[in-house]
Amino acid sequence: MRRRGWLSANRPTASPPKTVVRKGDRVVVIAGKDRGKSGKVLQVSRERWRVTIEKINMIKRHTKPNQQNRQGGILEREGSIHLSNVMLYCTACQKPARVASKTSTDGSRTRVCKKCGQTIEAPSAK
């Protein structure tokens, strides 16, 4: 087995972060080349600490013609962004929001904006 620096095979890895961002949420990018832009979360990868956002961090992929894509060419798709570079968007404040979790009497948890106190709606189930 090949070792790569201080990351040896027997070293325990960090557990995936508990994230407030879910698929379908509206988020704002707070750092990087797309800073200030907002969009809908398409995918959350907790193991890699990354999120994919609609129309943000577009990357170009040069592809050869194949069975699925007969023409080939340059395809544009969304790249992922680190979880620490996005914040949930509060529709009541119209701003990026830090989020608290509030537990109701029946045991269900809701996400609450720390600035205005309004609940942040869960993404619609599809």
The reply to whether 20 falls in a domain is: no
CATH code where residue 104 lies: 2.30.30.30
The reply to whether 101 falls in a domain is: yes
Buried b (16+ CB within 10 A) or exposed e, 26-39: bbbbeeeebeeebb
Residue 27's pLDDT band, with cuts at 50, 70 and 90, is very high
Structural domains counted in the chain: 1
**Which of the residue ranges 3-12, 25-34, 74-83, 98-107 would you say has the lowest mean pLDDT?**
3-12
Residue 113 in 3-state DSSP?
Answer: strand
The reply to whether 115 falls in a domain is: yes
42-81: pLDDT as tens digits: 999 998 999 999 999 999 999 999 998 899 999 999 999 9
The reply to whether 9 falls in a domain is: no
Domain that holds residue 90: 26-120
Burial class (CB in 10 A: 0-12, 13-18, 19+), 7: exposed
Q: Between 6 and 123, whose confidence is greater? A: 123
